Amino acid sequence: MKRLLRWILITSPLVLITAVWGIDTLRQNELAGKRAFEAQPDSAFEAMLEKPPIVLDGQILHPKVQYNLQARAGQDMSARREGLRQVLLNGGLKRSMLRKHIDEDWNYRTDSGAPMQSIHEVKIPGLDGNTLDARVYVPKVANETEDLPVLLYFHGGGFIFASIEAMHGAVQLMANEARVVVVSVNYRLAPEYTYPAANRDAMAAWAWARKHVGEFGGNAERIAVGGDSAGAYLSVATSLALRERGEALPAAQLLYYPVVDTAAEKYPSWRLFGEDFGLDKYFIRVALELYVPDPNQRDDLRLSPIRENDLSGMPPAIIVSAGFDPLRDQARDYARKLEEDGVAATYINAASLHHGFLESSGTINDAGRIARQSATLLGMQLRR
């Protein structure tokens, strides 16, 4: 009996490691199979559509997006989002596994382009005694005689999901196409950490980048801020906070489907695309509730940059929206307001796509094209 117990104690860790490795291998094989399926020609998906192409507000939904949304048709998304909220609030293994699954799901469809010259894992000191994990991407760039411009990037995920792992492929593509060093940053997530934790982490990341990017061949005087969705908000909020303090501002902003107004329901795109198109109004409400649990804080102007009376002096911006996105009109109106206040703004609407299309740059032609186009524009802006 003692021998048996000793054998179990010795072999159990090995059995556990083998089991975990097996699960991870199965998961990677599953994702590889899904990517191969989703990379088929558009015509294959047009043939599998159960309904005619969706046309709304003069836009035609991409057939691959429409096909992927078919499976959700008829689901009670309000109930699903409430279940998600409970998993996040209860914490534990379920929350960890959900976040890991989302990181993997965001990354498997992306096209990362050429391999990097180097990738570095770094630690950034936060403002509250915390430490942020970040990843620095240095592209292979020919004929550059000076330090490269830099993009400080914050992932999306409604302040409750995603990480530098989720955006690994997407930011590598940005580094390649813009020919910039990218610093991709993890910030604290809700509900564990609520407003303004993520905002403070973004400010800490900016301070670190200004001080340290030169160690990786980056130009500390040519740093842009960027992000997708909630991360785009953090980029705008950081620029506004620096302007308020009278400090050096980013050289540019790269904003993908930004959330810049907590009153999202007032925009026509909320009514048009708030259900059945991926990102939905139920998720937006849950995300806001978890990051800003105090309703009295939700009218804080720092959470709704578009309500600023004057945006003059802000960095020039490249703003990309998705056509079938409840946040589309926020992005468009923010670009307009910047221009009205004398700030250069380039606005691109990915009319056939929905929120989160950066994740599909390797499988959806329109997503790949716009991901490259916007990154190239950033590189040009940073070299003017």
16 pLDDT above the threshold of 50? no
Predicted pLDDT at 71: 84
Predicted pLDDT at 72: 86
Whether residue 374 lies in the annotated active site? no
Tokens 């490795």 found at? 21
Task: For 162-203, write each residue's pLDDT tens digit.
Answer: 999 999 999 999 999 999 999 999 999 999 999 999 999 999
**If you average pLDDT over every residue of the chain, what do you get?**
94
Whether residue 101 lies in the annotated active site? no
**Average of per-residue pLDDT across 197-220:** 98
Tokens 């965001």 found at? 106
> CA nearest 328: which of 381, 264, 275?
264
3-state SS, 165-230, equals CCCHHHHHHHHHHHCCEEEEECCCCCCCCCCCHHHHHHHHHHHHHHHHHHHHCEEEEEEEEEEECH
∠ at Cα 100 (94, 101), nearest 5°? 90
Tokens (6 digits) for 98: 């959900």
CA distance 297 to 373: 37
> CA nearest 280: which of 264, 296, 261?
264
At 143, the pLDDT band (50, 70, 90 cuts) reads: confident
Identified catalytic residue from 112, 229, 239, 269:
229
CA distance 281 to 326: 8
Predicted pLDDT at 9: 46
Identified catalytic residue from 103, 304, 355, 361:
355
Predicted pLDDT at 8: 46
Percentage, residues of the chain above pLDDT 90: 90
265 pLDDT above the threshold of 60? yes
Predicted structure pTM score? 0.93
Count Cβ atoms within 10 A of the Cβ of residue 54 and give its class: 0-12 exposed, 13-18 middle, 19 or more buried.
middle
94 pLDDT above the threshold of 70? yes
User: Helix, strand, coil proportions of the chain in percent (round to 5)?
Assistant: 50, 15, 35
CA distance 188 to 195: 10
Predicted pLDDT at 20: 46
Identified catalytic residue from 325, 329, 354, 360:
325
What are φ and ψ of residue 161, in 5° steps?
-135, 175
Whether residue 325 lies in the annotated active site? yes
Task: For 42-84, write each residue's pLDDT tens digit.
Answer: 999 999 999 999 999 999 999 999 999 998 888 999 999 999 9
Question: Residue 154: beta bridge partners?
Answer: 185, 227
Predicted pLDDT at 24: 79
14 pLDDT above the threshold of 70? no
Task: For 274-325, write each residue's pLDDT tens digit.
Answer: 999 999 999 999 999 999 999 999 999 999 999 999 999 999 999 999 999 9
